[in-house]
């Protein structure tokens, strides 16, 4: 585990999720599939896996299964980070609410103090004390 609470597997899944979830990965995978099909279809080349490309289908199935697992691990990891961030945000909002209540109370107390002071000054002025 590192300082943000994720282990090596979670970090690897996050990186893999970023990689396979990109347009460059889609393009690279498409180029690989088209090249594989062309290599096994064109008459100039020997056919390692002729049509219906059973070996390719098997490999793509395995790839899809592993990719799905890594994507789920990455999503779980992101969910945990989101929950932690939401809890931190909740704590901050509670603190801000308490601070606002304290400021309101302090403001009301200051207003009461100002009113009491104004009343005392008025009373002194009324009793004939020159200021």
DSSP 54-84: HHHHHHHHHHHHHHHHHHHHHHHHHHHHHHH
What is the chain's mean pLDDT, rounded? 86
For residues 78 and 124, give the distance between their C-alpha atoms in angstroms, rounded to a whole number. 68
Q: How confident is the model at residue 70 (pLDDT cuts 50, 70, 90)?
A: confident
Residue 1 has a pLDDT of 53
Residue 54 has a pLDDT of 94
Residue 27 has a pLDDT of 95
Residue 39 contacts by C-beta under 8 Å, 6 or more apart in sequence? 45, 48
pLDDT at 32 over 90: yes
Lowest-confidence segment of 1-10, 60-69, 80-89, 120-129 by average pLDDT? 1-10
Q: How confident is the model at residue 98 (pLDDT cuts 50, 70, 90)?
A: very high
Residue 18 has a pLDDT of 80
For residues 43 and 47, give the distance between their C-alpha atoms in angstroms, rounded to a whole number. 8
Q: How confident is the model at residue 5 (pLDDT cuts 50, 70, 90)?
A: low
Q: How confident is the model at residue 122 (pLDDT cuts 50, 70, 90)?
A: confident
Model pTM score? 0.58
Lowest-confidence segment of 4-8, 36-40, 75-79 by average pLDDT? 4-8
């Amino acid at each position: 585990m590192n300082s943000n609470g994720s282990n090596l597997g979670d970090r690897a899944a996050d990186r893999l999720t970023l990689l396979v979830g990109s347009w460059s990965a889609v393009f690279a995978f498409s180029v690989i599939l088209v090249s594989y099909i062309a290599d096994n279809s064109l008459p100039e080349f020997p056919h390692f896996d002729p049509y219906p490309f059973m070996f390719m289908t098997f490999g793509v199935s395995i790839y899809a299964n592993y990719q799905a697992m890594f994507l789920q691990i990455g999503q779980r990891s992101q969910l945990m980070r989101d929950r932690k961030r939401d809890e931190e945000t909740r704590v901050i909002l509670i603190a801000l609410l308490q601070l606002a209540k304290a400021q309101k109370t302090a403001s009301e107390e200051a207003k009461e103090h100002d009113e009491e002071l104004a009343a005392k000054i008025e009373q002194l002025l009324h009793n004939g004390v020159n200021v």
